[in-house]
Amino acid sequence: MLNTYRYPKFEYRTPPEMAAPGRKGHYPVVVVGAGPVGLGTAIDLAIQGVPVLLLDNDNTVSIGSRGVCYAKRALEIMDRLGCGQALVDKGVSWQVGRTFFRDQEVYSFNLCPQPDHHRPGMINLQQYHLEERLVARAGQLSNIDLRWNNNVVSVAAGDNGATLSVETPDGFYSVSCDWLIAADGARSHVRKLLGLDIEGRVFMDRFLIADVVMQADFPPERWFWFDPPFHPGQSVLLHRQADNVWRIDFQLGWDCDPEEEKKPENVIPRVRAMLGDDRPFELEWVSVYTFQCRRMRSFRHGPVFFIGDSAHQVSPFGARGANSGFQDHDNLAWKLKLVIDGKAPDRLLDTYSEERGFAADENILNSTRSTDFITPKSKVSLLFRNAVLGLAGKHAFARALVNSGRLSVPSYLTQSRLNTADEAPFSGAMVPGAPMDDAPILGPDGNAWLLGALGNRFQLLYFVDDAAAIDGRTAVALGSLADDAVPVEPLVVARSGVAPSGLKTLIDVAGRIAERYDATAGTAYLARPDQHVAARWRSFDPLKVRQSVAVATCNAVPVTMEAQ
């Protein structure tokens, strides 16, 4: 098979624990697994000032193209980690998905129909390209100790941390840590070593992945076929990736023989039937997969956190795997930083499992619904599926029911106990718990994006018409938030002017921030370090801001304890 990609070989180095026998390493955080989510976790902690030991049992990136689609929210997180642009530059950006039934287009969607967002709805990028860029970013951070060919073979977890035994080409060594993060994938070794369960549903279906290299001028769109003439009775999905590699995903059904189906002599005719006889192509990668939708009941077990596929798995329709894994570390890193620094109690870490468990349930729900639509399990569900597709050409309501995958979007954490409920009415979607919408700004460094100015710390967005007109008392009150134990950076969002007292001013150049956040003069939004809304008000009251920061960090005194 053809290779458009040369796999890097990362160098194994003898760990310091082995170089000096008897030396026992202790680390605040150990992350197991340097896949996309483990790398993201390590980078996220490192940029927040937490040193990380990152262990991987291999010495290269993902073999074969596995994950392909990285969604807007994941790119925004990668921007915060300092490597979003490298991914967008290499990937294929797209917004539009088209769905066909037999030989007719029945439905199309646009992932991000709104103007004025920095990142596209999705990029397609082979997983090895993504990992290579994350490895490069990790290499820029001196507080990440990334060890290749370091295989965790045993784990013991107690009240005060965990100890690991690690196998290397030089033999075994052991390390201890305060916090252990298992990012070691769907078949998590750490999960097994600790004897923990993951529960859910296995889907009785098989899919063939063929990555082919070809020259084609198809637009960068996601194309999905139900029951196409070239693969009758099943579904097919086409995605463009970097370097003229195209991902084709054929539904095969449960009864096929995966070993037979993988053989080039069986794959090539399927691809040819789809592309026609006169388009040259070469196979780059072939595999057959099945999938499950399942999750651990809790993503936290004492000092051990499960993150990404080790904690939860979904069907691939919707690209909700790696994308939700990045949102996991987006949620965990700042909480762990606050607890390590002694600025928040241990129970803040329970909210990682609560919030991301809520998101995992939503991802599993959506990907299960997609799977049930794509692969009907009974005669009557096939009947309804085809009735929807038959009506979709003419009727809008049926188009809305066509479900070829509901692509990864972040959850609105509306149920979170870290939120402060609204006191005043707001319209729009930026409710407490919402992932914050992007918009253009004119900042101190010129034209930029709102989300580029947010993250890694609590921030208060204070909306005014003219920043220069902020009175002295308000300016002092805003500025004083930055001196708190859990600091809050004040940001003045204005139509014009420069705020006094050195307060950072963002000009809402396109008016999109005010529009998307339903902000009027005086409105204040408290943003979490992971760019989620914690609280909002129609006027600025520093006491209320501090109370909401306490709620968002589990530092508020619980009401039940006050009553005692």
Q: Specify the residue, 92 or 418, whose C-beta has the smaller distance to other proteins.
A: 418
Contact with other proteins (CB under 8 A): which of 142, 160, 378, 560?
378
Of 295-334, binders to other proteins (CB under 8 A) are none
The two tokens of residue 439 are 């918009």
Spatial distance between the Cα atoms of 256 and 449, rounded to a whole number of angstroms: 49
User: Do the Cβ atoms of 321 and 30 come closer than 8 Å?
Assistant: no
Q: Specify the residue, 215 or 378, whose C-beta has the smaller distance to other proteins.
A: 378
Please tell me whether residue 379 binds other proteins under the rule CB under 8 A.
yes
Could you tell me which of 286, 255, 288 has the C-alpha nearest to residue 271?
Answer: 286
Q: Specify the residue, 65 or 327, whose C-beta has the smaller distance to other proteins.
A: 327
Contact with other proteins (CB under 8 A): which of 254, 260, 384, 423?
384
Q: Specify the residue, 393 or 558, whose C-beta has the smaller distance to other proteins.
A: 393
Residue the block writes with tokens 């954490």: 413
With CB under 8 A as the contact rule, which of the stretches 326-334, 398-406, 450-458, 517-525 interacts with other proteins?
Answer: 398-406
Contact with other proteins (CB under 8 A): which of 6, 255, 276, 380?
380
Spatial distance between the Cα atoms of 375 and 369, rounded to a whole number of angstroms: 10
C-beta of 515: minimal distance to other proteins in Å? Answer: 17
C-beta of 438: minimal distance to other proteins in Å? Answer: 16
Of 343-372, binders to other proteins (CB under 8 A) are 366, 369, 372
Spatial distance between the Cα atoms of 331 and 44, rounded to a whole number of angstroms: 10
Please tell me whether residue 390 binds other proteins under the rule CB under 8 A.
yes
Pairing between strand 282-289 and 207-213? Answer: antiparallel
Please tell me whether residue 215 binds other proteins under the rule CB under 8 A.
no
Contact with other proteins (CB under 8 A): which of 400, 468, 501, 558?
400
C-beta of 429: minimal distance to other proteins in Å? Answer: 6
Contact with other proteins (CB under 8 A): which of 6, 9, 394, 473?
394
Q: Specify the residue, 247 or 406, whose C-beta has the smaller distance to other proteins.
A: 406
Spatial distance between the Cα atoms of 478 and 519, rounded to a whole number of angstroms: 18
Please tell me whether residue 395 binds other proteins under the rule CB under 8 A.
yes
Contact with other proteins (CB under 8 A): which of 10, 101, 334, 373?
373
Q: Specify the residue, 369 or 504, whose C-beta has the smaller distance to other proteins.
A: 369
Please tell me whether residue 473 binds other proteins under the rule CB under 8 A.
no
The b/e string for 326-360 (b: 16+ C-beta within 10 A; e otherwise) is: bbbbbbbbbbbbbbbeeebeeebbbbbbbbbbbbb
Q: Alpha carbon of 103 to those of 226, 248, 278, 376: distances in Å? A: 9, 17, 20, 20
C-beta of 201: minimal distance to other proteins in Å? Answer: 14
Of 423-442, binders to other proteins (CB under 8 A) are 429, 434
- Residues in contact with other proteins, counted by CB under 8 A, come to a total of 26
Pairing between strand 235-240 and 199-202? Answer: unpaired
Q: Specify the residue, 380 or 421, whose C-beta has the smaller distance to other proteins.
A: 380
Pairing between strand 440-443 and 122-124? Answer: unpaired
Please tell me whether residue 101 binds other proteins under the rule CB under 8 A.
no
Please tell me whether residue 96 binds other proteins under the rule CB under 8 A.
no
Contact with other proteins (CB under 8 A): which of 14, 140, 381, 480?
381
Query: Please, which residues have CB within 8 angstroms of residue 64's CB and are 6 or more apart in sequence?
Result: 128, 211, 285, 287
C-beta of 115: minimal distance to other proteins in Å? Answer: 18
DSSP 287-345: EEE--EEEE-S-SEETTEEE-GGGTEE--STT--SHHHHHHHHHHHHHHHHHHHTTSS-
Please tell me whether residue 412 binds other proteins under the rule CB under 8 A.
yes
User: Do the Cβ atoms of 509 and 453 come closer than 8 Å?
Assistant: no
Please tell me whether residue 401 binds other proteins under the rule CB under 8 A.
yes
Q: Specify the residue, 37 or 534, whose C-beta has the smaller distance to other proteins.
A: 534
With CB under 8 A as the contact rule, which of the stretches 329-337, 345-353, 375-383, 531-539 interacts with other proteins?
Answer: 375-383
Q: Specify the residue, 373 or 537, whose C-beta has the smaller distance to other proteins.
A: 373
Q: Specify the residue, 90 or 369, whose C-beta has the smaller distance to other proteins.
A: 369
Q: Specify the residue, 99 or 127, whose C-beta has the smaller distance to other proteins.
A: 99
Based on the number of CB atoms within 10 Å of its own CB, is 202 exposed (0-12), middle (13-18) or buried (19 or more)? exposed
Could you tell me which of 518, 528, 530, 456 has the C-alpha nearest to residue 493?
Answer: 518
DSSP 207-251: EEEEEEE------S-EEEEES-TTSTTSEEEEEE-GGGEEEEEEE
C-beta of 107: minimal distance to other proteins in Å? Answer: 11
Based on the number of CB atoms within 10 Å of its own CB, is 424 exposed (0-12), middle (13-18) or buried (19 or more)? exposed
Per the DSSP assignment, residues forming a β-bridge with 52 are 29, 144
Contact with other proteins (CB under 8 A): which of 396, 424, 543, 557?
396
Spatial distance between the Cα atoms of 388 and 398, rounded to a whole number of angstroms: 5
C-beta of 354: minimal distance to other proteins in Å? Answer: 18
Q: Specify the residue, 368 or 505, whose C-beta has the smaller distance to other proteins.
A: 368
Spatial distance between the Cα atoms of 473 and 542, rounded to a whole number of angstroms: 11
Could you tell me which of 533, 537, 323 has the C-alpha nearest to residue 436?
Answer: 533
Q: Specify the residue, 111 or 340, whose C-beta has the smaller distance to other proteins.
A: 111
Spatial distance between the Cα atoms of 221 and 227, rounded to a whole number of angstroms: 19
With CB under 8 A as the contact rule, which of the stretches 248-256, 409-417, 494-502, 515-523 interacts with other proteins?
Answer: 409-417
- The alpha-helical segments, DSSP class H, found in 481-529 are 512-516
Spatial distance between the Cα atoms of 343 and 296, rounded to a whole number of angstroms: 28
Positions in the binding site for other proteins (CB under 8 A)? 366, 369, 372-373, 378-381, 384, 388, 390-391, 394-397, 399-401, 403, 406, 409, 412, 414, 429, 434
